[in-house]
Amino acid sequence: MRAAGRASHSRLRSVKSGILRAASGVASDTLERALMTRERKIYWVKTATILCLIPVLVYAFGSGPPPRRTGAPGDRTCLDSGCHVGTSIPDSGAIALSSSIGDLSYTPGGARQRWTVRITDAQARRFGFQLTTRLASNETSGQAGDLNPADTATQVICENDQPKPAAGCPSSAPVQFVEHFQFPRTDGTFTFDWTPPATNVGDVRVYVAANGSVAGVGNSRIHLRNFTIRPATSVPPSPAIRAEQSVLQAFDDRARISPGTYVQVFGSNFAQNGANGRLWEGRDFNGNSAPTNLDGWGVTFNDIPGFVYFVRGGVSGAPDQINVQVPNIATTGNVNVVVTGPGGLRSNAATLPAAAVSPALLAPAGFR
């Protein structure tokens, strides 16, 4: 009886050992061969135990994967690390990333953005994910910005596999990962927050790994995709023509406009080129045709470009200025004068009456 008890205890230990090997990722056919060698008398014990184990396998890492499973440089995926078994789908269109600001960009030191990851896979029943943000200049270990959960469906961990403290991840484990928390979702949508870096660090690379779990044990579809978040282009302020004495005849400083005469346009946010400004040069001409802009700065008269002779801006205590020859415009009615700048910049319009001629004599102030 004692010998029989020892034999029974030995069998149960063998069953336990086989189950632990299954939970550790031993291939199912190996497990099956091992189980087939057991005596028939413990068949029902094995069956019940394995059936209890199946939900554990199905919901493996239901509370979120370990760190560095995004497929980014220096990371693995849940397939090659043994978290899941299934198919890898690189550069997958099933993953979409959107931002509350409308486009994938950031302003250094700017406000926190609300990001949403959406996973679309008609074959999958449940979804999980992990995302990381890296410096394009150091995609292995350069953390870019700060990740935070927006609800209880996500969590943020550090690369040391610990929850991110309020003060941020430690310097010894700086890379952050946002991922699903508790159980995977059935709708494939996850929302969380990202705060941009305080300074312009260049491009930011976002790596996302998404698990679409298909019915059956060990049958996952691992989608991989990455995105680039670029610094927002610095948009200069629009040029503005001043309200008083905005457009003056160049020779007598009166508000008159006629075809062929020279006028001065005054305002702010014109070309910031300093006290000497910029005169037209031979290189600005196209044959006998005078330039209609200097370094991108010009003036239109009822949408007809004038011929720009001089541009100056950025002088402390002085208005910005453009000297321009009026093109061949109508000599009756009003004329809308607009300053144009690089990249499609446009000022407000200054409106003046047109005249057929506006004679003036260019002379030193003492002779006027």
Report pLDDT digits (tens) over 264-279.
Answer: 999 999 988 888 899 9
Going by C-alpha positions, the residue among 69, 66, 83 that lies closest to residue 224 is 69
Residue that wins the pLDDT comparison between 3 and 248: 248
Q: Are residues 212 and 244 in the same domain?
A: no
Q: Are residues 111 and 201 in the same domain?
A: yes
In a domain, 70, yes or no: no
Residue 366: what pLDDT? Answer: 57
What is each CA distance from 332 to 103, 131, 256, 356, 357, in whole angstroms? 47, 65, 12, 7, 11
Residue that wins the pLDDT comparison between 50 and 209: 209
Q: Are residues 298 and 274 in the same domain?
A: yes
In 10 A of CB 30, how many CB atoms?
12
In a domain, 154, yes or no: yes
In a domain, 112, yes or no: yes
For residues 50-74, give the mean pLDDT: 66
What is each CA distance from 223 to 26, 81, 84, 120, in whole angstroms? 24, 15, 12, 10
Q: Are residues 114 and 34 in the same domain?
A: no
User: Quick one: tokens of 142?
Assistant: 């350069």
Q: Are residues 342 and 305 in the same domain?
A: yes
**Cα separation of 259 and 356, whole Å?**
7
- Does residue 115 contact residue 192 with C-beta atoms inside 8 Å? yes
For residues 87-114, give the mean pLDDT: 92
In a domain, 340, yes or no: yes
Q: Give 29's pLDDT tier (boundaries 50, 70, 90).
A: very low
Tell me how many domains the chain contains: 3
User: Quick one: tokens of 69?
Assistant: 């499973």
Q: Are residues 213 and 188 in the same domain?
A: yes
For residues 271-292, give the mean pLDDT: 91
**Cα separation of 290 and 281, whole Å?**
10
- Does residue 249 contact residue 359 with C-beta atoms inside 8 Å? no
Q: Are residues 259 and 276 in the same domain?
A: yes
In a domain, 178, yes or no: yes
Residue that wins the pLDDT comparison between 21 and 307: 307
- Provide the angle, in degrees to the nearest 10, between the axes of the packed helices 2-23 and 28-36: 170
Kindly report which listed range (48-52, 120-124, 351-355) carries the lowest average pLDDT score.
48-52
In a domain, 68, yes or no: no
In a domain, 72, yes or no: no
Residue 367: what pLDDT? Answer: 52
- 199-230 pLDDT, tens digit per residue, is 999 999 999 999 998 875 567 899 999 999 99
**Cα separation of 312 and 151, whole Å?**
53
With 70 as the cut, is the pLDDT of residue 38 above it? no
3-state secondary structure of 26: coil
Residue 273: what pLDDT? Answer: 84
- Return phi, psi of residue 279, to 5°: -95, 155
Q: Pick the most confident of 10-14, 82-86, 274-278, 337-341.
A: 337-341
pTM strictly above 0.75: no
**Cα separation of 289 and 303, whole Å?**
18
Q: Which domain holds residue 281?
A: 240-363
* Domain end (from 40, 58, 76): 58
In a domain, 220, yes or no: yes
Going by C-alpha positions, the residue among 350, 363, 364, 357 that lies closest to residue 264 is 350
Q: Are residues 199 and 139 in the same domain?
A: yes
Q: Are residues 123 and 212 in the same domain?
A: yes
User: Quick one: tokens of 276?
Assistant: 């000497």
* Domain end (from 181, 211, 231): 231
- 139-150 pLDDT, tens digit per residue, is 999 999 999 999
With 80 as the cut, is the pLDDT of residue 27 above it? no
Q: Are residues 227 and 293 in the same domain?
A: no
Residue 277: what pLDDT? Answer: 92
Q: Give 39's pLDDT tier (boundaries 50, 70, 90).
A: very low
Q: Are residues 169 and 287 in the same domain?
A: no
For residues 351-361, give the mean pLDDT: 89
- Return phi, psi of residue 177, to 5°: -140, 125
Residue 322 C-beta-side C-alpha neighbours within 13 Å = 35
Residue 62: what pLDDT? Answer: 55
Residue 306: which CATH number?
2.60.40.10
Residue 202: which CATH number?
2.60.40.4060
For residues 41-54, give the mean pLDDT: 39
* Domain end (from 58, 76, 106): 58
Q: Are residues 254 and 134 in the same domain?
A: no
